[in-house]
Every structure is written in structure tokens, then in C-alpha cells.
Amino acid sequence: MSSTPKSLGLDTDLHQYLVAHGTPPDAVLQRLADDTSAMGPIARMQIAPEQGAFLTMLAGMLGARLIVEVGTFTGYSSVCLARGLVPGGRLICCDVSAEFTARAVQAWHEAGLDDSVELRLAPGADTLRAMPLDDLIDLAFIDADKSGYAVYYEEILQRLRPGGVIAVDNVLWSGRIIDSTDTSVDTVALRAFNDMVLADDRVDCVMLPIADGLTLCRKR
């Protein structure tokens, strides 16, 4: 596991204490985290361990039968989400990279989740639009290209059951979200997305300082 914390405002020692006082990553997640960390700077795309434990708990609390993930990368978050499913539940993973998700497929097998997870390699918007509107989603996790967040959110919300939750990663964007000098495409897209969610009367939302910022949107 990388010793550099992703969580804002936590130094390395405090982050290690935080992780140690929650459900720890098991051997599968630890191996996956170590292998992903060895990939170099791109490993920052992997979620933090405490975020993974939170997603497992959230899925379990919702009694999730159908979860959709947009942006799977090497699979850490998908393992955590799938472990929170009720027996017989399923997780649909949307990604465009066969290279990165090959690691995820391996992790699903190691974790005994082959029958619970389905990978759909295609643009996320296309995959979501192909899903029936009556296929009610209990939980969704968005962690993909930032310029696509608004589209993913809208497509998922139409298919989300009342009381279902959309969890959205990177909403604080390492603090750059409030840096007025940062006008990069991703930062501007995230600002617009955050403002859109705040104004959406179809959901109740809360922004949490977990890892790089996690917004939960509960459909009314």
C-alpha cells in the first residue's frame, strides 16, 4: 500500500492510523493495491483504502442488488462494491481500458466474485444508455473522466430507485476545486458538476472529505 495519503488534510501518520482503525484491506486488496502502486503516477487513480471500506459498508446498508460503477481502473473499488452486494446481486462495471481492467478481472477471480461482476468495455455513456429504465439501480459509483460526470450522473439518476445513492469521487480535486487560477478542463468540469448537483431538487446530497472528496446523492 502506498504510504502517501490521498485524503485531504491528513499527514502520512494520521492516515495510517485512520486506515488501521477501520476494516483493513484483505490479502486480495493489499496485493492489488501494491501492484497498482508499482504502475507509477497513474496509481493515483486508485481509491483510498478507507474509501473502499466505506463503499462496502454503504452497499451493504442499502441492501444493494444492482450496483453500477463508471470507471473501474484496476479494480480496487469494484471488489469493495461487489462485496457489499446482497446474495445474488450484481455489479456492472463500465470502462474503456482492456489493459487496466485485466487486473480487475484477476482480482475478481481471486476474491471469488466472478459470478457477481460484469465488465462492459465501451464508453460509459453508451453502456448506461443501453440499460433499461426499469432496471432500478441501488447504488452507483462514478470515478471516470471528469468531463463526463454530468452525463453519467443524469443517465444513472434516471435508472436509480428512490432512496438509491450515487457516490461521486474526486469532487474536491486535491483542493484545486477552489483555486480560481485553475481553469483546466477537468477542474472546470468538476466545479460545474458540483454546482449542478447542489441545485438538483431530485436528490439530497452531502459532500464528504473522504480521500479526494466524495459526494453522496440520494434520490428523493
According to the model, what pLDDT value does residue 135 have?
Answer: 79
Mean pLDDT score of the chain:
95
Superfamily of domain 12-219: Vaccinia Virus protein VP39 (3.40.50.150)
DSSP E strands in 56-196: the ranges are: 66-70, 90-95, 117-121, 137-142, 160-169
According to the model, what pLDDT value does residue 3 have?
Answer: 47
Q: How far is CA 78 from CA 22, 92, 107, 132, 191, in A?
A: 19, 9, 9, 22, 26
Residue type, 138: D
In the predicted model, is pLDDT for residue 214 greater than 80? Answer: yes
**pTM, whole model, 2 decimals?**
0.95
According to the model, what pLDDT value does residue 5 have?
Answer: 62
Cα–Cα distance, 10 to 62 (Å, whole number)? 29
Please state the domain extents for the chain.
Answer: 12-219
- The pLDDT tens digits of the residues spanning 62-110 come to 999 999 999 999 999 999 999 999 999 999 999 999 999 999 999 999 9
According to the model, what pLDDT value does residue 159 have?
Answer: 98
